[in-house]
Amino acid sequence: MTSAARARIGIVGFAHEVNAFADPITRGHGLEISQTPGGLAASWEAAPLVARLQTAGVEVVDLPSWEFGATGPLDGEHFRTIVAEAVQAVRDAGPLDGLAVLGHGAGRTTDDLDPDGTYLAALRAEVGGAVPIGIILDFHANVSHLMCASVDVLVGYRTNPHIDIAERLVELADHMVRLLGPRRPVIAKAVTPLVLPQIAQLTTEGEPMGDLRQAAERLCGGDVWNVSVFGGFSLGDSPDAGVCVCVTADDAVRATTVVNELASLAWSFRDRYRMHTTPLADSVALAAEASAGRREPLLLADVADNPGGGAPGNSTFVLAALAAAGVDDVMIGLHCDAAVVGQAWEAGVGAEIDVVFNRDSTRPLAVPFEARATVLALVSDQLVPTKGMYAGSHRHTSRCCALLLHVGGPRGVRIAMSAHPVQCADDDTLLHVGLDPTTASVVVVKSRGHFRAGFAHLFRDDQIIEVGAPGVATCELHTVQWQHLARPSLPLDQVDTFEPVAEVFTGWPA
């Protein structure tokens, strides 16, 4: 097929970022976005792709697209059902001229270390080698051999926080139209022995990954279809985790040259990556100064309890430490505790209640915390942020409340709570429950890197502290009991030398 006007391209998807140390999940934890109101054309995860393909005259075919977010491993049997349904849907759709895949690239199931590769290989086996497949992946993808071998073009987010998702979806659409012609590119991939915590993966100016991103963008164009640098997701505990470069180009020599250049550059920055957070005690001391008016307001990022990294959003280590130190005028969000939210809803706005976070918990990372509280607000509306990486998306917080905890000091702690784990990636998430972060001396967000895009208008980098509290999404990689991570890898092991060895993929046999 050489004409976009006659082409039928299916959009299918499996997007899952797995924290291997979080609780396993089932299919019921996911969202099949092609079945939501308006289908893929109305979803922020796919709308730019759909619109661009339609503008090019392509007939878009909606196929099952599962979105699981950042959670624990998916039940293996449920995953196999998802794969079988996707394959059957492709078969039932009739002849297709291409498949565009909405991926993430850091999945795991209870019995498969590379479900993304398994999924793509199943699609490839169904459509054969002549039908082009393109995929979009998250910046934190753990890119495997099977993933690259199963597709014709691979597009990764370039930014972290991920503020270029719409642009990359448009790019994928353009590649899919290009693939309708006779030419097929090659993909080259090189993995470095760098396993970075997420705090080392910011792509903003002055950060090493930012410098790497700029170098990659300069090399993209002409015979180079795409250059994608992946920071990886270490907490997936995958043998494919690590900083990785993938290049889609017209020929193997060009792709290999670019891949090796960028992988070597990533390695040359090894002494610049930020590997550790600020200890909790030091963070609290700085917060106390802000609370007392001796320094500007601060944003404390509780990075280890980030729902965007698979954490449950229920740890109380930062809250308890601030309260014990007498720090007040604090705002925290979002803390997930369905029982406390239910108690607040039952009591009503203005009521005073005694709350116990993590009541009856025996888990070491979900320590109970007791306080007297006043109910400030109750909210059940859907959250639609206006800024940051989630701008315009519909976020499913379920029921929420805002409480004033009578702890710390006379001004207390205002805390936004949800019944479902939701990353606080922007100030809209706090405003959603009636809390204005500009009115607090210390703002605590359960987020990691994504919040920087949604709070940049309020806090400079020197007002932000990444707190070293315990949590499922810890950035202190030396504290993790690894099982499958490739070793040796920096910073866990001593690695003195590295020379990139590019792996080249020339497409599936027709």
The CATH number assigned to the domain holding 204 equals: 3.40.50.2300
CB 241 within 8 A of CB 233: yes
Same domain, 310 and 387: yes
Parent domain of 84: 4-273+500-505
Cβ neighbours for 102, distance < 8 A, ≥ 6 positions apart: 11, 12, 13, 14, 15, 45, 46, 49, 65, 67, 135, 136
pLDDT of 183: 86
Does 448 reside within a domain? yes
Q: Other C-beta atoms within 10 Å of 502: how many?
A: 19
Token output for 95: 């002849």
> Considering its fold, how many domains does the chain have in total?
2
pLDDT of 49: 98
Same domain, 148 and 33: yes
Name residue 406's amino acid. H
| DSSP state for residue 36 in the 8-state scheme | S
Same domain, 367 and 451: yes
Does 225 reside within a domain? yes
Same domain, 265 and 405: no
CA separation for the pair 317, 321 (Å, rounded): 6
pLDDT of 179: 96
Does 37 reside within a domain? yes
Kindly give the interhelix angle for 165-178 and 47-55, rounded to the nearest 10 degrees.
40
Same domain, 376 and 227: no
Does 265 reside within a domain? yes
Q: Which residue numbers in the chain have pLDDT < 50?
A: 1-2
CB 129 within 8 A of CB 150: no
CB 76 within 8 A of CB 53: no
CA separation for the pair 102, 107 (Å, rounded): 13
Give this prediction's pTM: 0.93
Token output for 127: 């459509």
Same domain, 256 and 295: no
Same domain, 213 and 111: yes
pLDDT of 394: 81
Average pLDDT in the chain = 95
CA separation for the pair 382, 366 (Å, rounded): 27
Does 450 reside within a domain? yes
CA separation for the pair 341, 336 (Å, rounded): 8
Does 485 reside within a domain? no
Token output for 457: 């208008």
Kindly give the interhelix angle for 317-324 and 280-291, rounded to the nearest 10 degrees.
50
Same domain, 167 and 257: yes
Token output for 485: 């991570």
pLDDT of 1: 41
In 269-318 the beta strands, taken as DSSP E runs, fall at: 278-279, 298-301
pLDDT of 389: 85
Does 370 reside within a domain? yes
Instruction: Report the 3 state secondary structure along 339-398.
Output: HHHHHHHHHCCCCEEEEEECCCCCCCCCCCEEEEEEEEEEECCCECCCCCCCCCCCECCC
Cis check: omega of the bond before 491, within 30 degrees of 0: yes
Name residue 338's amino acid. A
Same domain, 230 and 300: no
Same domain, 24 and 121: yes
Cβ neighbours for 472, distance < 8 A, ≥ 6 positions apart: 19, 21, 22, 235, 304, 305, 309, 310, 311, 312, 365
Does 486 reside within a domain? no
Give φ, ψ of 247 to 5 degrees: -130, 130
CA separation for the pair 231, 14 (Å, rounded): 20
CA separation for the pair 335, 341 (Å, rounded): 10
Structure confidence by residue, pLDDT tens digits, 9-51:
999 999 999 999 999 999 999 999 999 999 999 998 999 999 9
Same domain, 194 and 291: no
Same domain, 267 and 375: no
CA separation for the pair 439, 35 (Å, rounded): 41
